[in-house]
Amino acid sequence: MKKLMYVCIIMCLMGSCQSQKKLVSVDRETNEVDLKVGQSCEIAFSTNASTGFWWQWINSDEVTIVDSVGNRYHSNAPQGMVGASSMRYWKFQAKEKGTQTLKFVYARQNIKEAVRTREVTITVK
């Protein structure tokens, strides 16, 4: 009986660890997401690299509750096609409790004027 109880406890603990690692999506309407410490979220941005504009995270020095743990591009356009839009995904992992807003701009490098802006509020519980 004790063996069964230990197996059940281990299975429950393993299940809770798996749920912590689940990638959480940011609500596209509210630009908000709730995370638990250790969970990750991915923010999607529509972009077009051939125009010279790209998304930049401008307040990374101020944000302490999450770490950027990667970003990637994805395009469905045929190879070599210029001017096609693509997606940029930025992945963040929660590291401590709190609420902060990540600020992004869609601009050319070294140009202060942004074409678009986006703010995403992250709450870590």
Could you give all domains of the chain from N- to C-terminal order, each with its CATH number?
24-124 (2.60.40.2020)
Three-class DSSP labels, 1-56: CHHHHHHHHHHHHHHHHHHHHCEEECCCCCCEEEECCCCEEEEEEEECHHHCCEEE
Report helix, strand or coil for 107: strand
* Predicted local distance difference test score (pLDDT) of residue 21: 59
- Per-residue pLDDT tens digits of the chain, which is 125 residues long: 444 333 334 444 444 444 445 788 888 889 999 999 999 999 999 988 778 888 999 999 999 999 999 999 888 777 777 777 889 999 999 999 999 999 999 998 777 788 999 999 999 99
What is the reported pLDDT for 89?
93
Q: pTM value? A: 0.75
pLDDT at position 36 is: 96
Question: What is the reported pLDDT for 80?
Answer: 73
Using alpha carbons, select from 113, 119, 75, 80 the residue that is nearest to residue 101: 119
